[in-house]
Amino acid sequence: MAAAMTEVEFKRQCEVTVREFFSHGVVSDAEESLRQLLSRAVTGRGGDASGYAAERPCGPAVASSRSDYGTGGEGEALEVQVTAVHVCGNAADALRSVSRPPPLIGCDVRSWHLLSNEHPPPSPPHPTPPPLLPPPPPPLPKLGADRLTPMVVKRAVMTALDRGGREREMAAQLLRTLRAHGVVSQPRAEAGFDLILQDVDSLAIDVPAAPDDLAVFLARAVVDGVVSRAYLDECADAAGLDGAPRGVALSARGALSAPGGAVHVRMAWGGPEGATAGAACREMDLLLEEFVSSRDTREAFRRLAALAVPFYHHEFVARALRLSVDQARLDPRCPRRVMELLGYLGNTGLVNGTQFAKGFARVATGLKGMVLDVPDARERFEALVSDARGRGLLPAGLSAWASFQG
């Protein structure tokens, strides 16, 4: 019999699936995994109760028992043939025939047991009635789809709340895909947001920005057709709704009602392409341009961390170095400010030494092409390398740019 899937286990497996989706980024795989999880929980919980009856039939049990009984003084044997026994039938019906064999001629039947003192006959076995079968256990209650599917919506949103914009965009795309392919219906998606709104106050304790992020999630769900606009209006106008949940609904409706609201909501986390490498590169370029003007290292740190692409930080380093080489003649402050930012990111640990080494190596291998547009690109890059070594961003013996010098 299969083990029962509890509600806690379903939530845990659902969250694991969403977190794996944040890693591999293949929405079709996440959709199929959630579809199978729902199918197992709804139809396979505890196995089929009929399997119990198949293993232990409750109908007539066919059994044959043959026993010889000694009558003592009479010396007569009874042969009882039991041809059918029903566990619920009358015991008298079990005796189909009782025959008495003819008396033994020339033998003292009264002293039969004395004729073979050396090998006394064994004691006649006592018939044992067939064991009564216990009634089959009642079938385990199944976790219904009406209860489970809203949990999928809730887990997808809550798992992304403590992540960056990349994961929130991916969660929004996952909900849109589940809705478009019929895994989650609109009423059940709305029931999922009901569960989320009920926990706004507790979520805000762990994630202070949760109400604002949930407002964007709710508005995005309306834009993507995951929930209806009527549902949003109902939540915003509900007089009995608590202050925090209603505030989330009001913020979501206000974002959609503003000029160009739907477009702004869709692009809040980078839009449908927000999880792609191209979108990350565009954000990096914009971040660098704004930093050179503002020198706000904390804001640059926040935005780079929000991309949640630590494995792609070498691209950021390479773009920062290319910007320094290209803009050094037009804006002499650019190389110095870029190195200040890279030093800050290295000191805080956001960008590690491996990513710095890869970024410098990529620029070094492309210097031959850069010289065509910037004749002194080599000298400028060597100055950046020296500065990076002085800041401890690169090991002293690193020769990643030897391919250019050779």
Per residue in 189-221, pLDDT tens?
999 999 999 999 998 898 888 999 999 999 999
Predicted confidence at residue 25, as pLDDT, reads 78
Neighbours of 332 (CB within 10 A): 9
Question: Domains in the chain, ordered, with CATH?
Answer: 146-267 (1.25.40.180), 277-404 (1.25.40.180)
Which of 258-272, 323-337, 359-373 is the least confident region? 258-272
Residue 3 CB partners (closer than 8 Å, separation 6+): 46
Whether residue 143 has pLDDT greater than 80: no
CB contact at 8 A, 1 and 51: yes
What CA–CA distance (Å, rounded) separates 74 from 38? 73
Q: Is 90 exceeded by the pLDDT of residue 274?
A: no
* Least-confidence region, from 140-144, 285-289, 297-301: 140-144
**20's tokens:** 């794996």
- What is residue 119's predicted lDDT score, i.e. its pLDDT? 53
Which phi and psi (to 5°) does residue 348 adopt?
A: -80, -15
- For residue 47, what pLDDT is reported? 37
Mean pLDDT within 147-154: 93
| Closest to 223 measured CA to CA, from 193, 267, 259, 182 | 267
Does position 268 have pLDDT exceeding 60, yes or no?
A: yes
AA letter at 399: S
Average pLDDT along the chain:
77
Checking if the pLDDT of 349 tops 80, the result is yes
The two counts, helices (H) then strands (E), for the chain are 19, 3
Judge contact between 380 and 324, C-beta under 8 A: yes
